[in-house]
Amino acid sequence: MIIMAGFFAFQALRYAPDTTFIAGGYSSDTAIPVLMANSDHTSLFSLYYWGQDRFGSWPFLVYQFAADAFAFHWEAIHIFLGMYLFLHLSILVFCWRRGFIPLLVLLGPLHFWPQVSNYLFDIAQPYGWQLASILLALTAAERSGRSRTAAFFFGLCSFLAIWLSPSSVLYCLGMPFLMMSERGLSSPTRWKQLGRLSLPPLLGYLFHSLLRRMVVEHNNDAYYHGYETPLKWESRWIDPAFRAVIQHLDGTTEILIWLVAGALLLLAALDILRRSLRQDGSGLLPQLSSRVLRNPASLTLLSGSILFVIALLPLNWFAANLYGARYIALPRYLMATGFLLLMHKLLLHYLPFTLRPISNFGPMRNLLSLLLTVALLIGFNVFGQMLFQKREVSDAFLFRRSVARALEEMYPGVPLLGNYWETYVYASLQRHGSLPQPGTGQYQRTPFLLPDFLQSDRILVILRGYPAALAKNESVDGGQKSEPRRIITFRSVEYQLIEFKEIHGLPVALYRKSEKPSANR
């Protein structure tokens, strides 16, 4: 299992941020984790993805701590590799007691289903970190009733997953309920046990809620803006959102998986009801439902994914972002893998009698796993170029990096002012990183950078997408061309133009702080 997991892990560079694999390419959203990891500032504002209350930033705080401790500058590839390895290690831990086939079930879609994995591997999204945390939480939950250490790790991983995205609570709370439902919930003692098992994720969600509220209040006090996402659930969004979700699914096969998964969950619910009423379990259907209920981890992935999508349908934020495919990438992956894991367990149970000894006998199972590993490794080496995503470096990324490095060489240490997209992207692609500052009226989630920015004697203004620094002049052919203003004012500080040029087609203007105070000050 370690060999196979390691083989998949070594495919990392095929999905790196500098490739064409990532949906949306290298953008300002990709740049923000890099800038956060290298930031010299830490405050309550930093606990979320630069002000967003839906994306916890604990991975970037870990990177920031390491950068401070070892004086290291992180690049996008480092952030990606950390997430990628964390995800593959969590899959290995989750499958350690389950076997070789479940390992392939989780790794296969991750590497051969690009419609989903191009979001899971994107450092601009929380999904890779979130998926890893959920899998670790479910692994710890399976032993939390017998070990205080496991209960502690269940609570810790649940909190980390919920901090990354509150939607994780659907998976973290579902596991204890389904574990206890298998044993029956017909007595007060069982309900007390369920309450004790559910306590770690409940505390994790409570801690996240308190943390989020504290950050919003801090932002209001410090920056006069809470950066709180205005989430609302309205029934009018359900129909268009449902149609969009169906369009995002991969045809009839994936739709059938969701429908069959719903039927299996209904069987499990009927078995829970039967156990609560202490009814007889004889008969084909009760036996099948009982067998389904014996797989709480798989059922957790199925039920959590369905509840995830149900909660998403009436959400205004899903509609405001044009029902983006990225929002359902995680439940699609967990639905597919949960379904395959459950089918694997059911098939093992209903195998012909002559095959059961092979699947149950340890040495024979280990030998078969070894032979299958060797066969797969040979197959991957022979057909690897066809099976795996081909590594294609993005020309757009290479161009932006060349511009970023040129800016850094010509103007080392000079802060960048301009459109948020330009400043974030070019600052994150530099070896040391110039201080990025979105201009007034721009998409601004970096107010804590203002003091350092205003202390600089010179600033470099990226003119593209930043009309506040442009002056319109009549050109010779009667058209209009844009040139930088001779004097600009930013936050009551006046700057005078000293240089204007284009670097690889990017217009930039160098300004020096004026000796004379601004009239607006």
pLDDT tens digits for range 256-307: 999 999 999 998 888 888 776 666 656 566 677 778 888 999 999 999 999 9
What pLDDT does 466 receive? 87
Angle between helices 188-223 and 148-164 (to 10 degrees): 40
What pLDDT does 403 receive? 95
What pLDDT does 499 receive? 94
- Is residue 404 domain-resident? yes
- Is residue 355 domain-resident? no
What pLDDT does 212 receive? 92
Q: How confident is the model at residue 354 (pLDDT cuts 50, 70, 90)?
A: very low
- pLDDT tens-digit readout, 218-228: 888 887 777 88
Last residue of a domain, one of 315, 350, 385: 350
- Is residue 60 domain-resident? no
Same domain, 340 and 253: yes
What pLDDT does 365 receive? 61
Same domain, 443 and 503: yes
Other Cβ atoms within 10 Å of 473 Cβ, number: 9
Same domain, 276 and 334: yes
Q: How confident is the model at residue 520 (pLDDT cuts 50, 70, 90)?
A: very low
Last residue of a domain, one of 350, 382, 409: 350
- Is residue 72 domain-resident? no
- Is residue 206 domain-resident? no
What pLDDT does 183 receive? 72
What pLDDT does 381 receive? 61
Same domain, 339 and 445: no
Higher pLDDT, 173 or 193: 173
What pLDDT does 166 receive? 94
Over 299-347, what HEC string results? HHHHHHHHHHHHHHCCEHHHHHCCCCHHHHHHHHHHHHHHHHHHHHHHH
Same domain, 337 and 421: no
Cα 346 to chain centroid, rounded? 31
- pLDDT tens-digit readout, 13-64: 999 999 999 888 899 999 999 999 999 888 888 999 987 777 999 999 999 9
Decide if 41 contacts 61 (C-beta within 8 A).
Answer: no
What pLDDT does 355 receive? 47
- Is residue 259 domain-resident? yes
Count of domains for the chain: 2
What pLDDT does 272 receive? 82
Last residue of a domain, one of 350, 382, 413: 350
- Is residue 270 domain-resident? yes
* Statement: residue 521 has pLDDT above 50: no
Half-sphere exposure of 511 (CA within 13 A, CB side): 29
Handedness of CA 511, 513, 517, 520 (dihedral sign): positive
Which residues form the domain of 241? Answer: 233-350
What pLDDT does 26 receive? 93
CB within 8 A of 166, min separation 6: which ones? Answer: 54, 205, 208
Same domain, 338 and 416: no
Cα 148 to chain centroid, rounded? 29
Same domain, 326 and 402: no
Decide if 134 contacts 162 (C-beta within 8 A).
Answer: no
Higher pLDDT, 426 or 273: 426
- pLDDT tens-digit readout, 453-485: 888 999 999 998 888 888 765 443 444 466 899
Same domain, 437 and 338: no
Q: How confident is the model at residue 368 (pLDDT cuts 50, 70, 90)?
A: low
- Is residue 267 domain-resident? yes
What pLDDT does 476 receive? 36
* Statement: residue 366 has pLDDT above 70: no
* Statement: residue 497 has pLDDT above 60: yes
* Statement: residue 11 has pLDDT above 80: yes
- pLDDT tens-digit readout, 164-192: 999 999 999 999 998 888 777 777 888 88
What are φ and ψ of residue 323, in 5° steps? 55, 50
